[in-house]
Amino acid sequence: MAADTLPVLSGVLRDQRRSLAMWGLALAAVSAMYIGFYPAMGETSDIDAFVRNMPEGLVEAMGYDEMATPAGYLRSTVYGLLAPALLLVFAIGAGARLIAGQEEDGTLELELTSPVARTRLVFGRILALWVDVVILVAVVALATLALVTALDMELGADKILAAATGLLLLVLGFGTIALAVGAATGRRAYGLAVAAGLAVVAFMFDAIGPAIGVDWMTTVSPFSWYIEPNPLAEGVDPGGFALLAAVPVVAAVLGLLTFDRRDLMV
């Protein structure tokens, strides 16, 4: 399988290299900018004043009550909101485009008429998506480590790695769902809608559940599996991260099976 998959993987990565570079620069810039704001927040009293002016439910849901600490600040800004949002836009868009988008515009047809099996074409694109996401999450993690070190924020590299791992698994899950739905239906819009809809629901469940005291919302939310164990302060949560890891694996398998069995009229 490797001999047939590697050309597909390398071809997709080559086609995406310019877009990937632009996304990497954007993520590094946004991460650096927001982390750089931390010293400007001033003393703890300034942060407390900022938090007191916000609704109590929002403060608890977004973790703003811990913004005075480096871990709390990064959780509330880069790792709890900005990086997940940007990375999900990239991953869901790329996932929906890699199979369904290319099927719709006809560029996938030439590959489908080659001797390479359908499953290997899909598997190569899944790997390409995963490699892209790994690279972009690494950019965020390295930018975080550099700024945290430069600003002496007293946050260990192991905690940054734990948060980056959770972020990676979260984004891989929704990106692979977009690819799998697109592979199953042949419609890019369906992949975008399903994955983006699930991501929004998961985020809202994580934000609203604790505020209204509904535990099942956080129990089923991938965002809660990622952020609620507070990896920036506590490190890796094996249970939550195992659930996160299961999502892209299951989605990938379903995408492979459904695409292989679907009548593509090629």
Quote helix, strand, coil % in the chain, to nearest 5.
85, 0, 15
Lowest mean pLDDT among 17-31, 33-47, 94-108, 161-175: 33-47
At 196-211, the pLDDT tens digits run: 999 999 999 998 888 7
* Per-residue tokens: 102: 């290319």
The yes-or-no verdict on residue 262 having pLDDT over 60 is: yes
Choose between 261 and 238: higher pLDDT.
Answer: 238
Distance CA 234, CA 253 (A): 32
Note whether 129 and 94 are within 8 A (CB): yes
Band of the pLDDT at 95, cuts 50, 70, 90? very high
Mean pLDDT taken over the chain: 87
Lowest mean pLDDT among 9-13, 21-25, 65-69, 154-158: 65-69
Question: Among residues 230, 244, 226, 221, which one has the least CA distance to residue 63?
Answer: 230
DSSP 7-59: HHHHHHHHHHHHHHHHHHHHHHHHHHHHHHTTGGG-SHHHHHHHHHTS-HHHH
Choose between 16 and 168: higher pLDDT.
Answer: 168
The amino acid present at 12, given as its one-letter code, is V
Mean pLDDT, range 129-133, rounded to an integer: 95
Sign of the dihedral through C-alpha 161, 250, 86, 125: positive
Lowest mean pLDDT among 25-34, 104-113, 227-236: 104-113
In the block, which residue shows the tokens 């996401």?
133
The yes-or-no verdict on residue 185 having pLDDT over 70 is: yes
What residues contact residue 16 under an 8 Å CB cut-off, 6+ apart?
94, 128, 132
CB atoms within 10 A of CB 46: 12
Lowest mean pLDDT among 86-95, 148-157, 158-167: 148-157
Note whether 249 and 127 are within 8 A (CB): no
Distance CA 65, CA 216 (A): 23
Band of the pLDDT at 142, cuts 50, 70, 90? very high
* Per-residue tokens: 190: 């369906």
- At 257 the pLDDT is 93
CB atoms within 10 A of CB 43: 9
